[in-house]
Amino acid sequence: MNNPLLSSFKTAFEAAPFSKIQTNHFVPAIEQTIAEAIEEIDAICKNQSQPSFLNTLEALDHCGSLISRNSSLLFNLNSAETSEALQKATQEAAPMLTKFQNDVRLNKKLFERIHYVYKNEDRTKLNAEQLTLLEKEYKSFVRNGALLKEVEQEKLRKIDAKLAQLSLTFGENVLADTRAYHLHIHSEEQLKGLPSAVIDMAKAAAKQMDKEGWVFTLDYPSYVPFMTYAKDQDLRKEMSIAFGKRGFQENEHNNSSIILEIVKLRQERAQTLGYESHAAFVLEERMAQSPIRVKKFLDDLLEKALPAAKKEWEVLEDFAAKKLGLKNLEKWDTAFASEKLKEAHLHLNEQELKPYFPLNGVLEGLFQIVNKLYKLEFKENNTLDAYHEEVLTFEVYREGMFCALLYADFFPRPGKRSGAWMTSYRSQKKDQRPHISIVCNFSRPTENQPSLLSFQEVTTLFHEFGHALHGMLADTTYSALSGTNVYWDFVELPSQIMENWCYQEEALELFAKHYETGKALPQDLITKIKKAAYFQQGLQTLRQLSFGYLDLSYHHTEVSKIKDVKDHEIKKIGSLQFTKDHAENSTSTAFSHIFQGGYAAGYYSYKWAEVLDADAFELFLENGIFDSKTAANFLNQILSKGGTEHPMTLYKRFRGKEPDPEALLRRAGLV
């Protein structure tokens, strides 16, 4: 087989030749590159020289680069452009990759060398990045069972292989249920309240399915506007129930038993390693450090947010009853009623904003903003291969030097999971620049108009672009410490801080322009956007906290008591929800962040990072949002450094002090 995955790519920038990569290339390539990496590791182990940082740790960092590249390609495509064949290949490859990781981490001779270096290396001769790599690798081996007896190590292997498979199945089940449902509308009467752009998009979706009328799906660009604007309460209910049933139906895609198995295995794994719980295991390598600190952090925020949320809910209930005829607010009413309340109180209709945020214009403005901040230039290159015809490709330069490749994938498709994320196809390390991708699910262009973003979609784009900057501007020696390879509760700082520019007049002037007239966003709408930032912050915070509490509850000491996913949810977060529960719906069964993504015992980090970003952005506000000195400092101390030092060390070097928790509350208007 002429398999392009078996060697470095002979392309411009060594970019992935997607059109030449076939699904049946992946498993053989991963098998062969694993075998090659094992030979490289054997060579390290057989080295007769005294173990040192260079001949052991640095040599290990260079091993398996093709495995990393190929697995990134496989898992990224499985998220953004999957198929049955690709899902099958991913299911086949995942246990192999897990076994390889365990073979490395449980390699006795390799660990003996690392242990020797850890105990005996002259640390005064290592720089900060080398010291961090040494600490990280040693801990990684210990946290993966290197100090355990063989029988316990074998137990870990089996647990890890099973967990890898379960998390993939969880995601496939959510995607399958999402794809299985659509709302087919035949009557224009049922479209009342929906903006014309949303109706046009639904018309296009129906046409794509060879249907008459309009089709709405559970993809966010279709689902969210429908729930926000559709006047037909019965249809809102149908959509809401369908959305909440993902992974929770009596079919082969039910995730309930998978969740129970995942959390049980995670707990068993942690206890085998000597930890009280999976949360204790995870949080040892986080800024938060322990489940107790996370619980206190959530509790402190709840104390401030709950009174505000209760008042906001009372206002919403009163408004819905008096103005909308909704006497008992259900969960399918809240987005609709909140939008009407916002229109009434702030005189802001989100649809008024959309014409000022055409995707191409927002993207161009975003490029201008990061050029002002970090001197980046983006050159579109249509000749580069991409995995789908809609994917945009850019060469990124900084002060004339090539910096990165950027792939941008903006619209929903049948083979693409929902949500938005940043990922990489190639990591950064010494003498190697990264290939970064941002993936979103925005409203598609229609026959009548370009893709027009809601303001929430604008902030989503800025958020993911912040992650992309973390990857593109990385400047480290070792890939293991590059870009987003940082403590998980630090990884959201670069993304969340970027959202702040969406609310600043000086930044909005660069991209908020009417797609037909070119006129700038009027001052009164800018004022309303700023006011809207404070709208229902209590309720928004409460929602995020409920996810944080639910996540922690699945991964701390109560795991053995969880017998039923639905009952557990009600016990843990029922008191934080103001709408009535519905038996056919579950939050957990589609909670991909913690059961498919990397946020297990870490969902709190969104709010944690908001503290960091609110505090950090106050410095930009003090000095000017485009202040070159502040931006250079953020680049040099945060964006370029990856995980080369402890995040608090990096943060204090940028800010001059530890973050102030009150900064978040000030920004949210909760104090």
Strand partners, 183: 216
The answer to whether 469 and 494 have CB atoms below 8 angstroms apart is: yes
Alpha helices by DSSP H, 333-486: 334-346, 350-353, 359-374, 455-472
665, containing H or E segment: helix 662-668
Nearest to 168 by CA among 298, 99, 230, 255: 255
Residue with tokens 């990280």: 136
Q: Do residues 408 and 438 touch, judged by C-beta distance below 8 A?
A: yes
How buried is 105 (Cβ within 10 angstroms: 0-12 exposed, 13-18 middle, 19+ buried)? buried
Cβ atoms within 10 Å, residue 456: 14
User: Strand, coil or helix: what is 556?
Assistant: coil
Residue 361: partners with Cβ closer than 8 Å, 6 or more residues away: 511, 513, 515
Please write down the HEC assignment for all residues of 35-79: HHHHHHHHHHHHCCCCCCHHHHHHHHHHCCHHHHHHHHHHHHHHH
DSSP string, 92-161: HHHHHHHHHHHHHHT-HHHHHHHHHHHHHS-GGGS-HHHHHHHHHHHHHHHHTTTTS-HHHHHHHHHHHH
Q: How many CB atoms lie within 10 A of CB 40?
A: 14
Taking the C-alpha atoms of residue 15 and residue 637, their distance in angstroms, rounded to an integer, is 29
The catalytic residues are: 464
Residues whose CB is less than 8 angstroms from the CB of residue 124 and which lie 6 or more positions away in sequence, other chains included: none
What is the C-alpha to C-alpha distance for residues 250 and 36, in angstroms, rounded to an integer?
45
Q: How far apart are CA 175 and CA 393, in angstroms?
A: 26
Residue 217 contacts residue 205 (beta carbons within 8 Å):
yes
HSE (side-chain half, CA atoms, 13 Å) at 218: 23
The burial class, CB within 10 Å (0-12 / 13-18 / 19+), for 577 is middle
Task: Name the residue type at position 541.
Answer: T
Q: What is the token pair recorded at 439?
A: 């993936």
